Copies of this chain bind each other. A is one copy, B any other.
Amino acid sequence: MNQNYIKPDNWSIIEEGFDKESVKSSESLFSIGNGAMGQRANFEETYSGETFQGSYIAGIYYPDKTKVGWWKNGYPEYFAKVLNAPNWIGIDIIINGENLDLNQCTEIKNYRRELNMKEGWYNRSFEASMKNGTQVAVNVRRFLSLDLDEVGLINYEITPLNKDAKIVYKPYIDAGVTNEDANWDEKFWEPLEVKRTGNEAFVTAQTYKTHFKVTTFMHNSVFSNGKNLNLSPINSETTTEKITVSYDVIVAKGEKSSIQKIGGYTVSLNHENTLLGAENAIKQALTIGFGQLLENQIEAWAKIWEMSDITIDGDVKAQQGIRFNIFQLNQTYLGKDSRLNIGPKGFTGEKYGGSTYWDTEAYCIPFYMATKDQQVARNLLTYRYNQLDKAIENAQKNLCFTNGAALYPMVTMNGEECHNEWEITHEEIHRNGAIAFAIFNYNRFTGDYSYIPEKGLEVLIGIARFWHQRANFSKDKNQFVILGVTGPNEYENNINNNFYTNFIAKWCIDYTYEQIQKVALEYPLDHKRIVEKVNLSVVELKEWKKVSGNMYFPKSDELGIYLQQDGFLDKDLVLVKDLDKSQRPINQKWSWDRVLRSPYIKQADVLQCFYFFEEHFTKEELQRNFEFYEAFTVHESSLSPCVHSIQAAKLDKMDMAYTFYLRTSRLDLDDYNKEVEEGCHITSMAGTWMSIVEGFGGMRVKNDALHFSPKIPKEWKGYSFKINFRNQIVTISVTHNDIQFSLEGNKGITVYVNQKAVLVEPNSLVVV
């Protein structure tokens, strides 16, 4: 596998030169998506080399029977897997009787991939010499329409270079696909119906068990030198799950022949009759036309960039990195549909299954809040509200909690827990805290309180009830403790009194308590409705406060730090810098017990608490804790460097902040962890955005106002970003000399720079 081969470019991801060792990595990096569907950058034509095939449809999953070595009571029966969806991109190409296959060609020149992030399309071009002596130039453009989000388009163009060619185009759609990570090698798709009419074809299949019905469709047109030949297929092959049609053309040397394939999916989540939906989708796409759809695509992406772009001046790799992150986040989730969420691999791979982790609340919501309409973040919150009953059932059924206590799942699609490691599934319960925190954070950022009486308060009550029951009173300590948890640092399992967990548990109870009081005063009808629905009593609230008011927090007075957990100082405290490099990454080099008893930290844990709740701590406390824990942090999670980058920036450790920033922003592009071929780390990409906005920009919301304390790495000339703050769009540009603000909107806004108020008027530049 190759690392670090992507060409630096401000706006595009570019690969040059064909190398089989890069194919799977590039399939991930050049993935495209439009929020509703997406796919890896698999070749359209046959490829007999190493490849990882993947197309994905948002919200469509398969409950794969749990596989474990030793069953533990309370494990879920299924793991909801991201499904490899039917293939609609395939086009076999036969040239002068030989199948075009880059793994078989005698020479490949000028091979180039480009993912144009500015305009939202992907292009692949090359010149190939085939075994039969034919030389061809090929250029393929593909995009998934933001405009018609059930539709993708391919223009596959071939130019014979050294002789005339008989070309057979064999576009197909195929539901006979499998998942690489299927637990039991089961088939996930049950074929229902195939239909072909002229240049159109449809394969309808449904997922086993979940019965999501999907019609995969295609429509093909063959062109010569840009002119539609209006060909009909000369042949077609149909099985129960696959349709292939064939078009024959004779192409003179130097002429451009092409096939335009329109394809995609219609799904039963959105259509009563998916076949009819598919026919309409083709009709719409043909009406608008390939060229116009591409224009629309460019325009739609321009709108996205207008709001969410971050510019970095003087550091093209950093610039490319941040744009790649922003681009992927927008490909994965556009926030239109509260049934959807942000999968950890987006549409770039299968790994980790599920769609929803605590990553959404802890890392992604800030990005979507600041770069989209507030409805997008509200949809993400509503997703959890809609799954509250299942979270209550989860706490009840699997974990013996009572009284409406809710434990949100570690990994989920439909609200049911999928994961099956006791130390994670049952013990990494801090996730519940992040879900409550996101409600607070949403209100703090958007000022929209209405979500809380409408929906959020019920979620908060379920969560507060969980923490109340999960803590127990230690007679020995005369305080409440939380035993047997896994914190954000998953290199510790089944520990007692994880500082972060205890802190967020207390915070959740207190915050919920406050919101109940506030809703009682300001939304009495909602209060009445909710109190009745969840059967909440004053006695119960008093019991909550006993726990939150007397929570135990492990700390070391000598070191002036909070302890990640009880007993942390018993460890053999060798610093990461003193650890032999050959031992890293420790999770690949060491057995799990060794990882666990080591002091090494996978990702921010105590420091995650300082990140979420910084106003609860002094800067001196941050400094002591940061210096202590950073020295033990190995950052073997993609979610780790961003939090450290933000805190390093706050502590004026700018070199460190910059190093962490680069690591997070180019994690996939440079393939630091040698695993990008499995897919990209989508959710951590929001952390990259935070590193700039909250780290270097120092953006915070306090008392309904935007605050900044901008800093700039010495490696950069300048950077800028935009924030949609309550429908006012503030642009901030930072250089080594000054800080500039501008504003789109009608009325002025007061922002704070290093705690000084700055009035920014619409359409005028303020220089600080």
Residues of chain A having any CB pair with chain B under 8 Å: 66-70, 72-74, 398-400, 420-423, 426-427, 472-477, 481, 483-484, 493-497, 566-567, 569-573, 587-597
Given A427-B593, A589-B73, the answer on whether A494 and B493 have CB atoms closer than 8 Å is yes
A690, chain B: closest CB distance, angstroms: 28
Q: Judge whether B593 and A422 touch: CB under 8 Å.
A: yes
Given A477-B570, A481-B570, A569-B476, the answer on whether A590 and B69 have CB atoms closer than 8 Å is no
In the bound complex, residues from chain B placing their C-beta under 8 Å from that of A571 are: 472, 474, 483
Assembled-state Cα–Cα distance A684/B597 (Å): 32
The 9 sampled A-B contact pairs (Cβ below 8 Å) are A68-B68, A73-B589, A399-B593, A400-B590, A400-B591, A423-B494, A475-B573, A494-B494, A494-B596
Q: Judge whether A484 and B399 touch: CB under 8 Å.
A: no
A594 (CB) vs chain B CBs: closest residue? B400
Which residue from B67, B69, B72, B573 sits with its C-beta under 8 Å from A420?
B69
A114, chain B: closest CB distance, angstroms: 37
Q: Judge whether A473 and B67 touch: CB under 8 Å.
A: no
- The copy count of this chain in the complex is 2
Q: Judge whether B566 and A421 touch: CB under 8 Å.
A: no
A558 (CB) vs chain B CBs: closest residue? B476
Assembled-state Cα–Cα distance A587/B69 (Å): 17
In the bound complex, residues from chain B placing their C-beta under 8 Å from that of A497 are: 570
Q: Judge whether A69 and B421 touch: CB under 8 Å.
A: yes
Which residue from B421, B475, B484 sits with its C-beta under 8 Å from A596?
B484
Q: Judge whether B484 and A591 touch: CB under 8 Å.
A: no
In the bound complex, residues from chain B placing their C-beta under 8 Å from that of A494 are: 423, 493-495, 593, 596
A468, chain B: closest CB distance, angstroms: 14
Q: Judge whether B399 and A591 touch: CB under 8 Å.
A: yes
Assembled-state Cα–Cα distance A473/B597 (Å): 12
A155, chain B: closest CB distance, angstroms: 43
Assembled-state Cα–Cα distance A571/B497 (Å): 12
A211, chain B: closest CB distance, angstroms: 25
A424 (CB) vs chain B CBs: closest residue? B70
A263, chain B: closest CB distance, angstroms: 35
Given A73-B587, A421-B70, the answer on whether A566 and B569 have CB atoms closer than 8 Å is no
Which residue from B74, B421, B427, B570 sits with its C-beta under 8 Å from A474?
B570
A591 (CB) vs chain B CBs: closest residue? B74
Which residue from B69, B422, B426, B566 sits with its C-beta under 8 Å from A66?
B69
Assembled-state Cα–Cα distance A569/B475 (Å): 7
A421 (CB) vs chain B CBs: closest residue? B70
In the bound complex, residues from chain B placing their C-beta under 8 Å from that of A72 are: 591-592
Assembled-state Cα–Cα distance A400/B476 (Å): 37
Given A68-B68, A567-B567, the answer on whether A473 and B572 have CB atoms closer than 8 Å is yes
In the bound complex, residues from chain B placing their C-beta under 8 Å from that of A592 are: 72-74, 422, 426
In the bound complex, residues from chain B placing their C-beta under 8 Å from that of A427 are: 593
Assembled-state Cα–Cα distance A580/B494 (Å): 25
In the bound complex, residues from chain B placing their C-beta under 8 Å from that of A475 are: 569, 573
A563, chain B: closest CB distance, angstroms: 10
Which residue from B420, B422, B569, B593 sits with its C-beta under 8 Å from A484?
B593
Please name 20 further chain A to chain B contacts, defined as beta carbons within 8 Å, in addition to the given A69-B420, A399-B593, A474-B570, sorted by A numbering.
A66-B69, A69-B69, A73-B590, A73-B592, A400-B590, A400-B594, A422-B593, A426-B591, A426-B593, A426-B594, A473-B572, A474-B571, A483-B571, A483-B596, A483-B597, A494-B494, A494-B596, A496-B567, A497-B570, A567-B567
In the bound complex, residues from chain B placing their C-beta under 8 Å from that of A567 are: 483, 496, 566-567
In the bound complex, residues from chain B placing their C-beta under 8 Å from that of A593 are: 74, 399, 422, 426-427, 484, 494
In the bound complex, residues from chain B placing their C-beta under 8 Å from that of A66 are: 69
A199, chain B: closest CB distance, angstroms: 46
In the bound complex, residues from chain B placing their C-beta under 8 Å from that of A566 are: 566-567
Given A426-B593, A567-B566, A594-B399, the answer on whether A588 and B73 have CB atoms closer than 8 Å is yes
A572 (CB) vs chain B CBs: closest residue? B472
In the bound complex, residues from chain B placing their C-beta under 8 Å from that of A398 are: 591
A588 (CB) vs chain B CBs: closest residue? B73
In the bound complex, residues from chain B placing their C-beta under 8 Å from that of A589 are: 73, 400
A583, chain B: closest CB distance, angstroms: 8
Assembled-state Cα–Cα distance A484/B493 (Å): 9
In the bound complex, residues from chain B placing their C-beta under 8 Å from that of A570 are: 472, 474, 476-477, 481, 483, 496-497
A490, chain B: closest CB distance, angstroms: 11
